[in-house]
Chains A and B, each alone.
Chain A
């Protein structure tokens, strides 16, 4: 399968107006994003920003699957949550450094994604979504019952530890730079994947799967690899989040988390580069700043979701891109 993607031959020569695979407009947006990442912690509460970035990674990973391959997973909380639990366990019980904890969490999420994806890609559309949901619910009950997860209590008091063994991540600002670096790495990796020949095959599958097979691609292999990549990156997001807050709980594996990431991606803009991030920012900010309204937050989220589906089908970033006639 790796061979197949290799044989798709020469990468098309980038047109003049592209910079590192970004179009001009995307590159400008990228610079704005970098500037915001640098400036934001001086104005906003770093822990809030870190939460936002973790969800941005999660939504970007999810967008890789739904936006570029057209697979609607309704069980991504399973990978996010497992990544969180494993990273928390690695950091707290095994005393591993934060980067190793996150990597182990991500790898396990990836392995889990390989098994679940292998089962789920045999079906399409709603059946695919239901299989991923059912498997994710199994993980939820596993996390509820398994001894190492701490059941209802979760894994608490997870130390942030020392990055590479010597940089303490205990100060919020240090942790923020680390999380921002993880986010940028994931963001660029996803951009690279989407713009590789492999990514073009993914888009072709999304558009017309029978045509893609009859051109000679084993589409199931491509879907599975995309699923594994997405699950692994969701694991990175979960692992990072559990280290930020020092806790891994059932909330992260609950099905409503799968719904939330779907919501973020749709609100931001399906299949756009910056959409998931903006969607994550909007939803996390609402949860944060409207927290005193209690259960009304979900109602407001619902209203926003309905408004998006009815009025801004392309999501926030998709609509802006459409107005400016650029791809963002």
Chain B
């Protein structure tokens, strides 16, 4: 496990990772949920976190976003340390988080939800481009945010963080609970985002879906990263993965 980890890390040092997470630990009250997570992500990569329930995938995303109350270790983004920063400061550095529960605001309509997040940097997608990516949202612009279907809510949750100019997206199980045709659409969206130069850290249970979008996969177990598989090696490593994921 150790050499699997160090080899790619060494190779990356020269290219310079956009985000370097090392020795990240996190606690919810008394419960210690992350025990030293190490992840490096280069600019423009789509990286997934795979693992069983309770392995610490969501906690990792929440820690990066500053939403876990107590954390230690190091989270460097563009060379700057963010491990103890407040969520709003992290957001304004250009990191955006789309939680599993989506967090659509019920008292705002679709457009208001879209326009709510502040611009953090220049270069966010303009509204009409967002509507091109997600035509459903345009049709339902005046609907109450939570009256949308699950898939539309997921698209709204992703769409609203594209407008802000954030370049690093944390997506938590965007495919969860959605019909296969919607999952395909979400997959197309993620590939489109990659084409546009966004960097994505994606949490997935479904590695068949992950395979269609990601460059690399980190496998988590018991609050640690235990393996890393490049997407092209995924099929060769299926046995190993099955063991980790228990599928």
- Residues in chain A within 8 A of chain B (CB atoms): 4, 7-13, 15, 197, 200-201, 203-204, 206-208, 210-211, 213-219
Contacts and interface: CB of A to CB of B under 8 A. Distances in A.
A318 to B, nearest CB: 13
Interface of B is mostly: loop
B86 interface: yes
Given A8-B118, A215-B116, A204 B92 contact: no
Contacts of B103: 208, 211
Contact of B105 (A11, A13, A204, A219): A204
Interface in B55-92: 65-67, 86-88, 90-92
B171 to A, nearest CB: 13
Of listed B67, B88, B103, residue having the most chain A CB within 10 A: B88
B241 to A, nearest CB: 31
A200 B118 contact: no
Nearest to B103: A211
Contact of A12 (B97, B99, B111): B111
B88 A200 contact: no
Contacts of B112: 12, 200
Given A206-B107, A214-B87, A216-B91, A200 B119 contact: no
Contacts of A203: 105, 107-108
A216 B117 contact: yes
A216 B88 contact: yes
A207 B160 CA distance: 17
A4 B91 CA distance: 12
A197 B88 contact: no
Nearest to A205: B105
Nearest to A204: B105
Contacts of B240: none
Residue of A197, A203, A206, A213 ringed by the most chain B CB atoms within 10 A: A213
Nearest to A10: B115
B116 to A, nearest CB: 6
B153 interface: no
Nearest to A207: B105
A271 to B, nearest CB: 8
B87 A213 contact: yes
B142 interface: yes
Nearest to A217: B88
B115 A15 contact: no
Interface residues of B, number: 29
Given A200-B108, A214-B65, A8 B115 contact: yes
A9 B88 contact: no
A193 B21 CA distance: 41
Which of the listed residues B66, B91, B97, B105 has the most CB atoms from chain A within 10 Å of its own CB? B105
B86 A216 contact: no
A216 B164 contact: yes
Nearest to A216: B91
Enumerate the 10 nearest inter-chain pairs by beta-carbon distance, A residue then B residue, closest first: A216-B91, A211-B103, A213-B87, A215-B117, A214-B87, A12-B111, A203-B107, A7-B118, A216-B118, A218-B88
B105 A208 contact: yes
Nearest to A211: B103
A8 B97 CA distance: 17
Given A10-B115, A12-B112, A215 B91 contact: yes
Interface in B154-181: 160-161, 164
28 contacts: A7-B118, A8-B117, A8-B118, A9-B115, A9-B119, A11-B115, A12-B112, A13-B111, A200-B112, A201-B116, A203-B105, A204-B105, A204-B108, A207-B106, A210-B87, A211-B99, A211-B105, A213-B86, A213-B88, A214-B65, A214-B66, A214-B88, A214-B90, A215-B96, A215-B161, A216-B88, A216-B117, A216-B164
A8 B116 contact: yes
A18 to B, nearest CB: 10
Contact of A214 (B97, B107, B160): B97
A216 B111 CA distance: 18
Most buried by B among A12, A197, A208, A213: A12
B125 interface: no
Given A9-B119, A210-B67, 8 more contacts: A4-B118, A11-B115, A12-B111, A204-B116, A207-B105, A214-B87, A216-B118, A216-B120
Contacts of A207: 105-107
A211 B118 CA distance: 13
